[in-house]
Structure 1
């Protein structure tokens, strides 16, 4: 009887830990939403201040404006070949500099099409006011040459990173899961805009860009309206909704189809054409593992399997058979992202339930980190602990690997000569650190509720 009581007690503890894990997953999602809202509000605030008070230090400080052709020539070294960084359906992209800030200037191709100035104006009027953490920001236009000026994304396009262009380091699997979630979030934002949602209609890895923290951002929003149909189809055939090719009509499920193809590419690293058939066959024969991109590291097979089936649902031939972007896709990808983070960073993403080691005659419960309150032990949510020191954080900061660490711990790691992530062992693209203010606020609230003055983790 005593053994049964012990087992019931342990099971009760497990149920409590699982409930706490679910609560902290909700907290994690809330903090991510608050972070996004805070960054958008900060950008809006910086733009509302007089320029003389805010010397430009990043593209967030550039007010939207209409540029002359001379401005664009000056920014791009008169369209210097050395500053050409890409080419797409709409035209050529140059890296430029305006007010000592790096920008990307997209110039309409001269051999492509006649620009409808009225539609161009209408499109820019819409994009000027659209702000989201996962959209590449439009900072200006030049009607004279059909130019669009964007904030510059230092890590280039997703297409470049999947092919490791110029020797860039590959994207590890959990970052790919996060990017899929971020792209889905951006699409949901666009589709939900009032009074009229915006469809992308030209989503592909070449139109998804990564900032210094490899945060995914969608570009070329609405550019499909400026392209002749033959150019649009030619440049996007592998990503275009089959129903659009039959009916000529874009819907929200057209963007869902494109997202599905991109998820398959994140999984496999392969070209888009024929990829749906390849992945379908690999699932039928039980050989999905042979298709997974080895450059991404060792995919947890359950994660890869869920993503593959989700992507195939998105790429169903008929729109009616595809899942809704929200809540089905957004919630599923958010959960896969949270699970991926927990796998690679168990000490700082979500609380882990007490682990169970089954032995012949006993069950041993291994406790998590604790603090002491009024003589009682309190479990520290692992969302709030540093993966380096394993202590409750006071000043959490993002590093280039996308993980959060205590500021002094990650600074000491970098200063001591490490140029790799403490979590993934992949090279850190830069040593810059970004405050995680939302998490800091949440930690402070938790400490006030659970810690005596002077108590330690």
Structure 2
């Protein structure tokens, strides 16, 4: 379990992060030392890959975009903030209304660090996990031996036999290149894994450009603000969101007015607040500002 001091550091760190491919912190749970993130409408990549009984499957074009989005988020964490995700998997990749990928459960590790049960936790370990995400997107399978399955398919020139048919007709050259890229990320020797910025990103950026030429346009962004943009007290779009000790995010003016009126309890739960300190949620503030600009508000 995370220690309280580390938890406070994580809250301060995550509220300052803003990237289009990272979910935004909207609250905290001090009692359980948990971080509460937005939950985009299309759920997790794991949910989408497991929905075999629906007709709304992820196309190969969308899957390539998800690969690129995830790579961009990892590069941001690694290069700009020295953070290791440490638990990258389809369940921690969420999809918004346009199926843009957003990584969740980040900000808990700094590199280099050590994870006793699996060895060293590093940028290279994130690359290894990213390779697994690529294999899942290619095959749609959740088997533990996907590395072996893919390598055997490439050696036997039977790649089409392991590609997920619900994604549509993968361009063979792109699928082959993506398969080799995934396996290189999964190299047992961490020194042989590719560098995200110089070796992986250029490939995925080119693939995404090519995929966009044949992909259909996605759904329009909803005109109504997401619920977590609204202050729980005033029910209006926040301009200066702050996280209180109860874990909820409020408009700074509203929560300060509540506290200045002599309240030492949560406006939402009526339970006593462990502290009257407030943390500015800079990431959510930036997200709201961008939404306002897009809607001319």
* Alignment TM-score, normalising by the size of structure 1: 0.46
Q: Where does residue 312 of structure 1 map in the other structure?
A: 183
**Is residue 2:40 matched to residue 1:169?**
no
Q: Where does residue 227 of structure 2 map in the other structure?
A: none
Q: Is the 8 A contact 1:171 1:295 kept in 2?
A: yes
Deviation at 1:140? Answer: 1.9
Deviation at 1:342? Answer: 2.3
Q: Where does residue 197 of structure 2 map in the other structure?
A: 326
Count of equivalent residues: 222
* 1:215-234 alignment, distance < 5 Å: 215-223=100-108
* 1:31-42 alignment, distance < 5 Å: none
Q: Is the 8 A contact 2:39 2:94 kept in 1?
A: no
Query: How many Å separate the matches in 1 of 2:129 and 2:203?
Result: 17
- In structure 1, which of residues 296, 315, 328 is the aligned counterpart of residue 167 of structure 2? 296
In structure 2, do the counterparts of structure 1 residues 321 and 122 end up closer, same or farther at CA, with 3 Å as the change threshold? same
Q: Where does residue 152 of structure 1 map in the other structure?
A: 39
Query: How many Å separate the matches in 1 of 2:143 and 2:207?
Result: 23
Q: Is the 8 A contact 2:153 2:162 kept in 1?
A: yes
Query: How many Å separate the matches in 1 of 2:220 and 2:57?
Result: 12
Q: Where does residue 280 of structure 1 map in the other structure?
A: 151
- In structure 1, which of residues 151, 176, 190 is the aligned counterpart of residue 77 of structure 2? 190
* 1:81-120 alignment, distance < 5 Å: 114-120=1-7
Tell me the SS of whatever aligns to 1:249. Answer: strand
In structure 2, do the counterparts of structure 1 residues 276 and 252 end up closer, same or farther at CA, with 3 Å as the change threshold? same
**Is residue 2:203 matched to residue 1:335?**
no
Query: How many Å separate the matches in 1 of 2:182 and 2:218?
Result: 30
**Is residue 2:89 matched to residue 1:204?**
yes
Deviation at 1:142? Answer: 2.2
Query: How many Å separate the matches in 2 of 1:273 and 1:301?
Result: 24
Q: Unpaired runs of 5+ in structure 1?
A: 1-113, 234-244, 346-397, 403-433, 438-457
Query: How many Å separate the matches in 1 of 2:220 and 2:170?
Result: 17
Q: Deviations over 1:219-263 (max 9, x none)?
A: 0003468xx957xx5xxxxxxxxxxx3xx2222111111111100
Query: How many Å separate the matches in 2 of 1:175 and 1:336?
Result: 11
Query: How many Å separate the matches in 1 of 2:207 and 2:121?
Result: 28
Q: Where does residue 136 of structure 2 map in the other structure?
A: 265
Q: Is the 8 A contact 1:202 1:224 kept in 2?
A: no
Q: Deviations over 1:82-106 (max 9, x none)?
A: xxxxxxxxxxxxxxxxxxxxxxxxx
Query: How many Å separate the matches in 1 of 2:157 and 2:204?
Result: 23
Q: Deviations over 1:428-448 (max 9, x none)?
A: xxxxxx9xx8xxxxxxxxxxx
Q: Deviations over 1:2-35 (max 9, x none)?
A: xxxxxxxxxxxxxxxxxxxxxxxxxxxxxxxxxx
Question: Higher Cα Rg: structure 1 or 2?
Answer: 1
Q: Where does residue 248 of structure 2 map in the other structure?
A: none
Q: Where does residue 249 of structure 1 map in the other structure?
A: 120
In structure 2, do the counterparts of structure 1 residues 122 and 272 end up closer, same or farther at CA, with 3 Å as the change threshold? farther
Task: Return 145-154 or 300-309, whichever deviates more.
Answer: 145-154
Q: Where does residue 137 of structure 1 map in the other structure?
A: 24
Query: How many Å separate the matches in 2 of 1:126 and 1:136?
Result: 14
Q: Unpaired runs of 5+ in structure 2?
A: 222-290
* Alignment TM-score, normalising by the size of structure 2: 0.69
Q: Where does residue 239 of structure 2 map in the other structure?
A: none
Q: CA RMSD in A?
A: 2.6
Query: How many Å separate the matches in 2 of 1:208 and 1:333?
Result: 17
Q: Is the 8 A contact 1:133 1:217 kept in 2?
A: yes
Query: How many Å separate the matches in 1 of 2:139 and 2:28?
Result: 37
